[in-house]
Amino acid sequence: MKYYHNSRCRKSREGLALLEEKGLSPEVVEYMKEPLSPNELMDLLDKLDMAAIDLVRKKESVWKEEFQDKELDEEEIVLAMIEYPQLMERPILEHGQKAAIGRPSENLLEILD
């Protein structure tokens, strides 16, 4: 079980606290410090069952300034999230072949067996 965490994000901290309250200790991946590889992000998108554009935080200034007005394909969006990890929606819990975005935090519990 992996938890993709941004310690500066309140929702991410809340999600981790919820998991810990349930007695769970996921491997914490601080993707802001060590961005995912393109393959890791594509695998995560498969587990989330979503397109890359749906994982993008479109209100982030870097998205608005650098990408909003461009026609980007799936690979280009993935590469944008690798280069600017703050664009990735958070938090995300990966468990087995499933993953969930913790907005709201309770969504994280839906993928647990």
Catalytic residue check, 37 = no
Q: Alpha-carbon distance 69 to 13, whole Å?
A: 32
| Options 2, 9, 50, 72, the catalytic residue | 9
Q: In what order do the strands lie in the sheet with 2-4?
A: 27-29, 2-4, 92-95, 98-101
Q: Which two tokens stand for residue 65?
A: 């300034």
Q: Alpha-carbon distance 34 to 24, whole Å?
A: 23
The vertex-99 CA angle with 93 and 103, nearest 5°, equals 60
By annotation, the residues acting in catalysis are 9
